[in-house]
């Protein structure tokens, strides 16, 4: 089979601790990256800009959130607000003449700052109480954006993004937008994978699993909880800016509402908490599945086999989608990433059934 462990011997720590120590995994990643780079030439404009592009950006958002929720174990139900802060900051900065690259940094820092402010609640409360604190952030940020004209440009206003260049390439063509998003998602992916195998990542996991046990071995839970909020909010803020510039190209407060926060949580949960591949799968599931279901249903409805009213047609995908989310959580509580992992493990030990150690 393509997954083989035989013949893979690591004689140096560096190779044993590489991001993808198994050759087959490395090949798959290389292949997927190649496909992603070639996507503008392979896919039609419609597929590129309305499927691939949002999928990549929402994956980056889910990755930022999974760093906080999965790796550090701090629940966050207001992540759309973090992204909104990033989006609005970047737009105002570029309008003021700041280069886009610096505006992205500013967006991240502003989101991280405000995210930390609310994350400070995590120093005192856990679990459901933290959910309430982050929900408060969602509503406060939304309210502030809507009611301060200097930010939103008026209650009903839509702010369109100015024309910018990124690394000397004007962000006008679909290709440029796509590659910017791809670059950011790859950067976030590599960053999270490296955080997970670094001492910072291990400290976060220690705080997640048992914070008092972490503190008796010298990991300061307060510091690492705040750092988790900072890092995750920073990435979320930049992702919000990338989302605004590369996909929406105009922002309104409704684009970052409470339902978006819930969608992000759903992506992380369905994908698998704390898993990088889970963020990709979860974002794909939550984002693309409704579209696929709608298309599928429209396709079936063409044949007039069963009379489906127009109203029903728009509701069935939502119902199936809800059932599928419940199904995934029931069938595999650790998410799509675990399903992938089971399949992978099956092939790793194939043709045997089990490993013994």
Partner 1 sequence: MLTSSNTAVPLRDTAQPLLELSNVEVVYDRVFLAIKGVSLKIEQGQMIALLGSNGAGKSTTLKSISGLLAPERGLVTRGNLWFKGQDMLPLTPPKRVAAGLVHVLEGRRIFEHLTPEDNLLAAFPLRGSRQRYQELREQVFTYFPRLKERARTKSGYLSGGEQQMLAIGRALMTEPDLIMLDEPSLGLSPLLVQEIFEIIRKINEEQGMSVLLVEQNATAALAVVDYAYLLENGHVVMSGEAAVLRENPDVQEFYLGGAGKVDYLNVKHYRRRKRWLA
Q: Are 321 and 263 in contact (CB under 8 A)?
A: no
Q: Is 6 in the site for partner 1 (CB under 8 A)?
A: no
Q: Is 342 in the site for partner 1 (CB under 8 A)?
A: yes
Q: Min. distance of Cβ 3 from partner 1 in angstroms?
A: 12
Find, among 265, 263, 272, the residue nearest to 339 by Cα: 272
Q: Is 354 in the site for partner 1 (CB under 8 A)?
A: yes
Concatenating the DSSP letter of every residue in 103-120 gives: HHHHHHHHHHHHHHHHHG
Q: Cβ closer to partner 1: 5 or 262? A: 5
Q: Cβ closer to partner 1: 39 or 334? A: 334
For residues 270 and 188, give the distance between their C-alpha atoms in angstroms, rounded to a whole number: 20
Tell me the residue length of the chain. 357
Q: Min. distance of Cβ 25 from partner 1 in angstroms?
A: 16
Q: Cβ closer to partner 1: 126 or 290? A: 126
Q: How many chain residues interact with partner 1 (CB under 8 A)? A: 9
Q: Cβ closer to partner 1: 149 or 333? A: 333
Q: Min. distance of Cβ 354 from partner 1 in angstroms?
A: 4
Q: Min. distance of Cβ 352 from partner 1 in angstroms?
A: 9
The torsion angles phi and psi of 197, rounded to 5 degrees, stand at -105, 10
Q: Is 346 in the site for partner 1 (CB under 8 A)?
A: yes
Q: Is 355 in the site for partner 1 (CB under 8 A)?
A: yes
Selected binder of partner 1 within 26, 27, 124, 345 (CB under 8 A) = 345
β-bridge pairing 159-160 and 250-251: antiparallel
The count of C-alpha atoms lying within 13 angstroms of the C-alpha of 76, restricted to the half-sphere facing its C-beta, is: 39
Q: Is 165 in the site for partner 1 (CB under 8 A)?
A: no
Say if residue 2 is exposed, middle or buried (CB neighbours under 10 Å; 0-12, 13-18, 19+).
Answer: exposed
Q: Is 220 in the site for partner 1 (CB under 8 A)?
A: no
Q: Min. distance of Cβ 348 from partner 1 in angstroms?
A: 8
Residues 297-336, one symbol each (x = binds partner 1 by CB under 8 A, - = not), give ----------------------------------------
Q: Cβ closer to partner 1: 9 or 354? A: 354
Q: Is 197 in the site for partner 1 (CB under 8 A)?
A: no
Q: Are 86 and 238 in contact (CB under 8 A)?
A: yes
Q: Cβ closer to partner 1: 17 or 345? A: 345
Q: What is the 3-state secondary structure (H, E, C) of 130-182?
A: HHHHHHHHHHHHHHHHHHCHHHHCCCCCCEECCCCEECCEECCCHHHHHHHHH
Find, among 74, 27, 31, the residue nearest to 228 by Cα: 74
Structure tokens at 315: 């509701």
Q: Min. distance of Cβ 4 from partner 1 in angstroms?
A: 16
Q: Are 240 and 112 in contact (CB under 8 A)?
A: no
Q: Cβ closer to partner 1: 191 or 339? A: 339
Q: Are 261 and 141 in contact (CB under 8 A)?
A: no
Residue showing tokens 């906080």: 68
Residues engaged in binding partner 1 (CB under 8 A) = 342, 345-346, 348-349, 353-356
């Amino acid at each position: 089979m393509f997954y083989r462990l035989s013949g893979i011997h690591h004689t140096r720590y560096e190779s044993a601790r590489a991001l993808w120590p198994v050759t087959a995994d490395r090949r798959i990643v290389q292949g997927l990256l190649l496909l992603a780079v070639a996507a503008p030439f392979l896919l039609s404009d419609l597929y590129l800009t309305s499927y691939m592009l949002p999928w990549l950006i929402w994956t980056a958002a889910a990755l930022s959130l999974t760093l906080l929720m999965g790796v550090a174990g701090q629940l966050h139900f207001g992540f759309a607000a973090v992204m909104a802060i990033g989006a609005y900051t970047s737009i105002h900065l570029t309008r003021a003449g700041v280069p886009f690259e610096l505006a992205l940094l500013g967006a991240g820092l502003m989101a991280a700052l405000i995210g930390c402010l609310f994350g400070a609640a995590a120093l005192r409360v856990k679990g459901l109480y933290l959910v309430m604190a982050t929900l408060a952030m969602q509503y406060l940020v939304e309210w502030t954006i809507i009611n301060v004209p200097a930010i939103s440009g008026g209650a009903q206003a839509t702010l369109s993004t100015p024309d910018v260049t990124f690394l000397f390439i004007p962000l006008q063509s679909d290709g440029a937008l796509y590659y910017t998003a791809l670059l950011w998602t790859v950067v976030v992916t590599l960053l999270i994978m490296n955080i997970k195998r670094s001492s910072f990542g291990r400290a976060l996991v220690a705080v997640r699993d048992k914070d008092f046990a972490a503190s008796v071995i010298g990991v300061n839970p307060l510091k690492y909880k705040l750092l988790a909020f900072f890092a995750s909010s920073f990435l979320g803020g930049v992702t919000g800016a990338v989302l605004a510039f590369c996909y929406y190209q105009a922002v309104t407060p409704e684009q970052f509402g409470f339902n978006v926060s819930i969608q992000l949580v759903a992506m992380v949960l369905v994908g698998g908490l704390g898993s990088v591949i889970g963020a990709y799968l979860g974002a794909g599931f939550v984002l693309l599945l409704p579209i696929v279901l709608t298309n599928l249903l429209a396709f079936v409805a063409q044949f007039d086999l069963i009379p489906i009213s127009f109203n029903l047609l728009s509701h069935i995908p939502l119902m199936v989608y809800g059932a599928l989310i419940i199904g995934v959580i029931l069938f595999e509580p650790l998410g799509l990433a675990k399903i992938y992992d089971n399949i992978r493990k099956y092939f790793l030990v194939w043709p045997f059934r089990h490993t013994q150690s």
